[in-house]
Structure 1
């Protein structure tokens, strides 16, 4: 399913996005407000399934030596954060918006 990208903060978020806070057709709970920059295509997606459905290539993970990259986007305020900062918390450092705690189960899909 290819969907029209939406702008959150200063970035375009691709995939099956259903609202202005980066919730998607696959994950759309109150705290599903996080998008990730995929290193393979330098495009933002709400989840790995959105990337799989929209991109024309397999997803790549961020390497252990790349965790300083500004690769997470808060859908509430549009702030980005590094992978290290994201992994150390469960809320946005700028606005305090909570992130879905269950996203931690999917970290191996995104981070080496």
Structure 2
């Protein structure tokens, strides 16, 4: 999987977000390309971010940098860890759900 942006390691961390739990990259709906975060997308693309619609949440658009497997948006939003390798997701990523998914964690997930 090719992850674009300011990637600093083989698990998909970037210069913006690089703690132990920052291993998830997102395929952006607007371009179909994977980036570690919205800041990388803004810096390396020539278009605005288009958030995923709720109707698209079964799309495999999340990539775990630890096990190298794709997850659906639902898989990602409804769990605290990867369903394949159990790596914990950074809980602070939910602060950016409105950018990626046009919504926030509380209105979409059953956690």
Task: Return the alpha-carbon distance in structure 1 between the equivalents of residues 7 and 26 of structure 2.
Answer: 13
* CA drift at 1:65: 0.6
Structure 1, residues 2-41: CA drift from partner, whole Å, max 9, x if none? Answer: xxxxxxxxx1000000000000000000000000000111
Does residue 77 in structure 1 map to residue 67 in structure 2?
Answer: yes
- Structure 1 segments, 4+ long, off by >2 Å, are none
Gaps of 5+ in 2: 103-111
Which residue number in structure 2 is paired with residue 47 of structure 1? 37
Q: Between Structure 1 and Structure 2, which shows a larger proportion of strand residues?
A: 1
Task: Please report the RMSD computed on the Cα atoms of aligned residues, expressed in angstroms.
Answer: 0.6
Secondary structure class of the residue paired with 1:36: strand
Task: Select the residue among 9, 18, 32 that pairs with 1:28.
Answer: 18
Does residue 87 in structure 1 map to residue 77 in structure 2?
Answer: yes
Q: Between Structure 1 and Structure 2, which shows a larger proportion of helix residues?
A: 2
Count of residues in correspondence between the two structures: 102
* CA drift at 1:64: 1.1
Which residue number in structure 1 is paired with residue 58 of structure 2? 68
Secondary structure class of the residue paired with 1:84: helix
- Report the TM-score, using the length of structure 2 for normalisation: 0.90
Secondary structure class of the residue paired with 2:25: strand
Gaps of 5+ in 1: 1-10
* CA drift at 1:90: 1.1
